[in-house]
Structure 1
Amino acid sequence: MKIKNILIILCFITGLNTAFANEGWINILKAGGNNKGILCTKAIQGAIDKASTNDGGGTVYFPAGNYLTGALKLKSNITIYLDAGAVLKFSENFDDYLPYVEMRYEGIMMKTFSPLFYAKDAENISIKGRGVIDGQGKVWWNEVYRIETAKGPIPLTKWQKMWDEQNPAIGYEPYYKRTMDKKFFRPSFFQVLNCKNILIEGVTFQNSPFWTINPEFCENITITGITINNPHSPNTDGINPSSCKNVHISNCHISVGDDCITIKSGRDADGRKYGVATENVTITNCTMLSGHGGVVIGSEMSGGIKKITISNCVFDGTDRGIRLKSARGRGGVVEDIRVDNIVMKNIKENAIIMDLFYDKSSKEEPVSERTPIFRNIHISNLTGTDVKKAGSIVGISEMPVQNISFSNINIQSEDGFTLNTTDNVEFHDVKVTTKMGASFEIENSNNLILDNVATMKPIANTPLIKLTDVSNMMINNNFPMFATDIFLEADGAKTKGIYLKNNVFNNVKKVVNKGAALNAAAIVE
C-alpha cells in the first residue's frame, strides 16, 4: 500500500512539473538576461519572440532584481510578468529606441522613436505583476527643454535629421507648427497599434518619457490595479486610449505631469482621415492626484468619442476634474457621456469644464467636418470642496454645447458655474456655494432649466443666478433657505421667456433685479 501511495504521489508531482513546463514560462535569468542592471535588451526581446512562437503563447518572467533594456517589441500571445521586487528600467540612450517606427504622436501618425513597449497588428498581450517599470524619462524631458529654451537657431541632432528624412510630407494646422518644428518626438511608454485583447494589471509605471499607457486603434483593453507616477514632468499623461473600442479602466492610482486619464481619437485632418472613434469606455474606482486634468476628453477628438462612463472616482489635487476640450478645425463628435458618483477636493481650476473654444484665436466658420460637437453629456452625484471654480461650459457660435444635465451636485468653490453659448442645459438639485459672484452665470444660451438650485452661503448684494441674453428658461422649485439679497439678476435685449414657477421666496429681499436692457415682458412670475 505504501509503495502504491508513493507511486501515486510521484505521478502527481511529475504531472505538475509537466503542466508547469507546458505553461510556457521563460525565466529571463535563464534566457541570457541579468538582474544586475546591465543592458539586456537582446535577451529580453529573444524571450518575447520565443514565447510568442509557443503553442498558446508564453510568459516572460522577471524575478526580483534590477533589469535594464531598450525598446521592446511585444508579440501576440505573450505576457510580461514582473514579480514583486523586480524593477525594469529603460535605457537613457536614445539610440536604443531606433530604428524609427510608425506611431501616433499627439494624434498625428508619423515615424519616430519606438515606444518603450511597442506592438503592431498583434493580439493577446499582457503586462502583469507587482513589479515596477521605470521609463527613466528625465533625459527625454531635458532634451525637450533644451530645444524649447534655445535662444535662436541650434544645430539639428542626428535624430532630428532622421525625423526629417522619414517624414517628408506630414500635414498639420498652423497652430501646431511650434510642436512640429521641434522635430523631436518622445516615445510613449506603452503604445500598441491596431491590436486586440490587451491586459495591463498590477504593475507600477513611473517616469514616462511622454504619454504612459497609449493604445491606438485597439479593441478590448483592460487596465486595472496599476499605479502611474510621473512627477514634475512635461506631457506625461497617465492613460490615453485613442481611437479604441471597448476599454475598461479600473482601480488605478494616478499622479502625473499632465492629464491623468485622457480619451482621444486623432488630431484635425489626420484624425478625420482615419475616422476611428473611441467608444465603449468605462472608467471606475480610480484615484487621481497631481495632474492638469482628472479625466479629460480631447483635445484631439477629430475621429469622435462616444459612449463613455466615468464613476466612483476621487480627484484630489488635480488642476481640473472633468474636462472636455476642443476647438474649431478639430471636427468630431463627443456624445453619450455619463459621469456619476465623483468626489473632488483641492481642484486648482475648474471642477467641470466643457470648452469648444480651446483655440481662443479661432474665428467663426460655416458648419462642416471641421466643426467640433459636444452633446448628450450628463453629470450626477458629485461633491467638490476647496474648488477654485465650479464649472465652465463654452460653446462656439455656430455650434453651442447641447443637451447637458447636472443632477445632485454639491460644490464649494471660490467661483460658480458660467455658461456661454449653450442649448438645452439643465441643473437639478445643485448647490454651488461660492466666495464671490453668482453661483450660476449664464450668457448667450437657450432652453434651460434650473430646478432646486441653491447656495449655502448667500453673498451680500450678489444674485444666486445671473442671466444675460438668455431665452426660454424655467426656474422652478427653488427655496432659498438662508437670507438672500437677490435671487435673480437679468439683463440683455435678447433675454426673453424666463419663467419663475413654484418657488418660495420668503427669505429673499429682491426676487428679480432687472437690467436696463431687459424687456419688460422677459420674465414671467
Structure 2
Amino acid sequence: MNLCGIVNLHLERRCVAIVITYTKPAYTTTSLVFNLHADDTNVFVEHFLDYHYAHFSYSGTSVLTVTASQPITSFDISPHSMEITGTVNGNELTFSIDNNAEKPAYLVIQINSLEKLVVLADPLESNAPRSSGAGIYNITSDPYYADNTWTSDVTSIIQQAIDDASAAGGGTVYVPEGVYKVKDILYIKSNVTLYLQGGAVIKSNPDRTLYEHTTSSEGKIFIEPMIRIDHAPNSNILGRGVLDASGIAIMDTDRASATYLGYRRNVIVGNFSNQVTIEGIIIKDSTTWTINGIQGGDGFTVRHVKIINHKNADQYKIMNDGIDLCGTRNAVAEKNFVMTVDDALCAKSTINDFAMYNVRFKNNIVFSSCAGLKAGLQSWSPMYDVWFENNDVVQARRGIVVEATAGTQLMSDIHFVNTRVEGYVFTSMGKSIPVEIEAKTAPITNVYIDGALFEKAAVHPITISGSSSTNTVTNVALAELSICGDAITNVPDKRIIEGSHAAGFSVSARNKA
C-alpha cells in the first residue's frame, strides 16, 4: 500500500488530496491499453477479462489523467449524473473527481472503441484496525504464519484464526497485503470481523477437479461458496482488499461438454444472521449470485462494495447477480458498484414464512446485461416497503423490473425514486425494455416509479401485465418519466403497454401518492 500526500490549489483555496494505491497482485495482468495517474501518483490498471479497472482511495479533490494506447477522438464518462467533464490532449484524458460528492467516483469510461475502463475511487478508510495487538488475529503472524504468495492453501489457517477470535468472544482476523490461496468454505462466526488490508487478495484455487459439487433440480452444477455467514450475528467483512472467486477459470467453458457452464460459485452466502456488514472490499469473478443474503436475517448492510464480474452475456450467459438482498429485513445496499452479466441489484423473497420489508438500495452505480434494478422474481413470503433510490444504471437489458415468477405471496409498496438508465444492450436473453412489471405467479400492487430518466429508446415499450384474476398488477403510478428527453405525461401512450389483468395504472407529472 502506498500513500502520497499532494497539495493542490483550487480557486485560491488550499486543499490536501491524499491518494492511496495498492500493490499489484503477482497473478494479475497489467493493462497495455490504459495508464492512470491520480494527481502525480501512478495507479495500477488491471486487464481483467474484456475490460480494465483501477482501484485506489483518496480524499479531497483529485485530478485523474488517463493515457490511452491511441489518440483519443471520443470519450464518455459514466454515470452521466455526476456531470464529469474531461479535456483531451492527444492520448490523454484529464478530469477531476471530488470525494465530497453524493456518490462515490465509481466510473465506467469509454474511449474510442477500446475496451472499457472502470475507475474505482474509494474514500479513505476511517476505522482501519491495527495489524497487531489485543483482539487482532493476524494470519501471517504467530501462531498462523499463512503463506501470502499463493503457493500453499491457507483455508484451514484462516478458518483457525476465525475460530480463535470467536472462541475469545470476538475479534478481528487481519489479512495483510499478499495473495492467499483457498479452496474450501470460510465460515464467518459471531462477533468476528474479517478484515482485508488493501493489497490483500483471498483467491480461490482455479483447479476444478478439487471441488465437490451439487446438481440443482434444473440440472445446473454448483460448488460451495467461498464464504458462509450462517447463524453469525454481529459479523463483518471489511477493508480494501479483494475476494477473487476464480469463477471463469473454475467454470466449464467447453461448449461440447455435458457440464458446460457448470461448476459455478457464489462468493458470499448468509443465513439467519443479524447485524452483518460487508463494506469496502472488491469482489471479483463470481459465476453465480455474488452476494446472497442474509436470508432470515435483520440489519444487513452492504456499502462501498465493488463487484467486478464477467459481463459478456453473448459469450457466457450465467446467473452471476451482483447484490441480492434475499429474504432479509431492515437491509441497505448503498454506494456500491456492480459490473456483471445478470441482474445487478435485486430484492428477492427467497424463503417461506419470513416477510421481507424495509429494504433500501441507495446511490449505487451498476452495469448489467440483464436487469439493472429488480424486485423479484422470487416471492415465497410477502415482500413490501422496498426502495430503490438515486441509482444509476449505466447499461442493462431491462432498466426497472418488478416480477413475480416463483412463489405466490404478495409483492407491494415497491418504490423506484430518481433512477437514471443510460443505455441498453441486446443479448440472447431478449431485446431491451425500460420498465417491466409482471405478475405471473403472485399479485403485485402499489408500485411507484417517481423520477426516471431513460436516455435512449428501448426496443420494447414499458410493459405491465398479470397472468390471471388472482395474479394481477394493480395501482402502478408513474411520475416524472422521460425517454430520450421526451416526458411521458398521460395515457394512452404508445411507449406503454398495459396488458391483461392490470388495473389502476396512472401517469402524472409528479406522483402525489
- TM-score of the superposition, structure 1-length normalised? 0.63
- The residue aligned with 1:174 is none
Shift of 1:337: 1.1
- Indicate the SS of the match to 1:43: helix
Q: How many residues align?
A: 363
Shift of 1:326: 2.2
Q: Distance in 1 between matches of 2:491 and 2:198?
A: 46
What are the within-5 Å matches in structure 2 for residues 4-19 of structure 1? none
Q: Distance in 2 between matches of 1:323 and 1:47?
A: 42
Q: Distance in 2 between matches of 1:125 and 1:199?
A: 7
What are the within-5 Å matches in structure 2 for residues 40-439 of structure 1? 40-55=154-169, 57-70=170-183, 71-94=185-208, 113-142=223-252, 186-215=264-293, 216-231=295-310, 232=312, 233=316, 234-266=318-350, 271=351, 274-327=352-405, 330-348=407-425, 349-357=432-440, 371-388=441-458, 389-398=460-469, 399-412=471-484, 430-431=488-489, 438-439=494-495
Q: Which amino acid aligns with 2:203?
A: K
Shift of 1:194: 1.2
List per-residue Cα deviations over 1:24-48 (Å, max 9, x = no partner): 3424354131110121111111111
List per-residue Cα deviations over 1:340-393 (Å, max 9, x = no partner): 111111123112110124xxxxxxxxxxxxx50100111101111113145111
Gaps of 5+ in 2: 1-128, 426-431
Distance 1:240 1:147, change over 3 A: farther
1:411 touches 1:432 (CA, 8 Å); kept in 2? no
Q: Which amino acid aligns with 1:89?
A: K
Q: Distance in 1 between matches of 2:257 and 2:130?
A: 56
List per-residue Cα deviations over 1:404-441 (Å, max 9, x = no partner): 1011111129xx9xxxxxxxxxxxx735999xx82344
- The residue aligned with 1:463 is none
Deviation larger for 76-85 or 186-195: 186-195
- Computing the radius of gyration from Cα coordinates, the structure with the larger value is 1
Q: Which amino acid aligns with 2:135?
A: E
1:214 touches 1:239 (CA, 8 Å); kept in 2? yes
List per-residue Cα deviations over 1:124-156 (Å, max 9, x = no partner): 111111111110011443169565577xxxxxx
Shift of 1:330: 2.6
- The residue aligned with 1:23 is 135
- Indicate the SS of the match to 2:235: strand
Shift of 1:19: 12
Q: Distance in 2 between matches of 1:306 and 1:88?
A: 36
Q: Which amino acid aligns with 2:457?
A: V
1:97 touches 1:115 (CA, 8 Å); kept in 2? no
Q: Distance in 1 between matches of 2:135 and 2:259?
A: 52
Shift of 1:248: 0.7
- Indicate the SS of the match to 1:47: helix
What are the within-5 Å matches in structure 2 for residues 480-519 of structure 1? none
1:87 touches 1:134 (CA, 8 Å); kept in 2? yes
Distance 1:440 1:19, change over 3 A: closer
Shift of 1:93: 3.8
Distance 1:33 1:438, change over 3 A: same
Shift of 1:307: 0.9
Q: Distance in 1 between matches of 2:256 and 2:505?
A: 50
List per-residue Cα deviations over 1:249-288 (Å, max 9, x = no partner): 000010112100122123xxxx5xx322322101000001
The sequence identity of aligned pairs, in percent, is 23
Q: Distance in 2 between matches of 1:443 and 1:89?
A: 48
Distance 1:146 1:326, change over 3 A: farther
Q: Which amino acid aligns with 1:384?
A: F
- Indicate the SS of the match to 1:28: coil
- Indicate the SS of the match to 1:331: coil
2:466 touches 2:499 (CA, 8 Å); kept in 1? no
Distance 1:342 1:451, change over 3 A: closer
Shift of 1:22: 1.9
Q: Distance in 2 between matches of 1:375 and 1:40?
A: 50
Q: Which amino acid aligns with 1:356?
A: A
- Indicate the SS of the match to 1:142: coil
1:222 touches 1:248 (CA, 8 Å); kept in 2? yes
Q: Distance in 2 between matches of 1:252 and 1:128?
A: 14
Q: Distance in 2 between matches of 1:321 and 1:449?
A: 19
- Indicate the SS of the match to 1:84: coil
1:390 touches 1:432 (CA, 8 Å); kept in 2? no
1:188 touches 1:213 (CA, 8 Å); kept in 2? yes
2:306 touches 2:338 (CA, 8 Å); kept in 1? yes
Q: Distance in 1 between matches of 2:229 and 2:256?
A: 30
Bigger share in strand: 2
Q: Distance in 1 between matches of 2:507 and 2:239?
A: 49
Bigger share in helix: 1
Gaps of 5+ in 1: 1-16, 151-181, 358-370, 417-428, 454-525
Q: Distance in 1 between matches of 2:264 and 2:392?
A: 30
Deviation larger for 404-413 or 278-287: 404-413
2:182 touches 2:202 (CA, 8 Å); kept in 1? yes
* CA RMSD, 1 decimal: 3.3
- Indicate the SS of the match to 2:324: coil
Q: Distance in 2 between matches of 1:69 and 1:35?
A: 11
1:309 touches 1:337 (CA, 8 Å); kept in 2? yes
